[in-house]
Amino acid sequence: EAGVAQSPRYKIIEKRQSVAFWCNPISGHATLYWYQQILGQGPKLLIQFQNNGVVDDSQLPKDRFSAERLKGVDSTLKIQPAKLEDSAVYLCASSPQGFRKLFFGSGTQLSVL
Amino acid sequence: TQLLEQSPQFLSIQEGENLTVYCNSSSVFSSLQWYRQEPGEGPVLLVTVVTGGEVKKLKRLTFQFGDARKDSSLHITAAQPGDTGLYLCAGDLGSSNTGKLIFGQGTTLQVKP
């Protein structure tokens, strides 16, 4: 079974530029999550989708971050414009509906200079 | 304010030693999970505990959920270099295991041969 796929693996940008991350969850998984993990900290939930609807985006900085999950499958997370404090690993995870186990991708490491 | 406090944050021990990692909160969780994360990878689920007082064993790892479902511990017996990694606890604040997980800041474990 293929795991959660994320791209790119690494991204380096300058502040005020925009960036987008892509995630393809495990086939059939209804729930998709985006987490932000700053170095030395645990992952922080940014947004949770159930199929193509948003369940929780309370910690998403909506003035600069946006996410979508068209057709309830893959998802993109965008940052525009990026700030220095956005430097982090962005993790995508998926889980089957009604099941509490999260499967994580390898993440995208973002460096904002 | 950290909802889930893990201690210690860093642990460096010799192969063969025992160790315990703690995860504490003032909140009650419907379930609690432990993940292990290696550098450059996403977290991988080790165990889920659901019932207060529950104890689960995974080879040399023993996980315990507090009676009040506010805290948990991970005990490793005879640690090996392969146990090196970041250990994360994650609590589900939703009802009926909604999959919305809050992560602790993690415990970095280094086991020296």
Kindly report, residue by residue over A61-78, the tens digit of the pLDDT. Answer: 999 999 999 888 999 999
What the block records as the tokens of A78 is 């965008």
Quick one: closest CA in B to A58, which residue? Answer: B100
Helices (H), B1-113: none
Q: Where are the beta strands (DSSP E) in A2-106?
A: 5-7, 10-13, 19-24, 31-37, 44-50, 53-56, 65-68, 75-79, 88-95, 103-104
pLDDT at A72: 83
Question: What is d(CA A7, CA A21) in angstroms, rounded to the nearest whole number?
Answer: 6
| C-alpha distances in Å from residue A22, one per residue of A1, A7, A99, B84 | 19, 5, 23, 29
Is A45's CB within 8 Å of B102's CB?
yes
Is A55's CB within 8 Å of B42's CB?
no
Q: Is B72 on the interface with A (CB under 8 A)?
A: no
Is B97's CB within 8 Å of A107's CB?
no
Kindly report, residue by residue over B9-38, the tens digit of the pLDDT. Answer: 999 999 999 999 999 999 999 899 999 999
Mean pLDDT score of chain A: 93
Among A3, A1, A24, A22, which residue's Cα sits nearest to residue A11? A22
Question: What is d(CA A78, CA A59) in angstroms, rounded to the nearest whole number?
Answer: 15
Quick one: average pLDDT of A83-107? 91
Quick one: average pLDDT of B3-14? 94
From the list B6, B48, B104, the residue facing A100 with the nearest CB is: B48
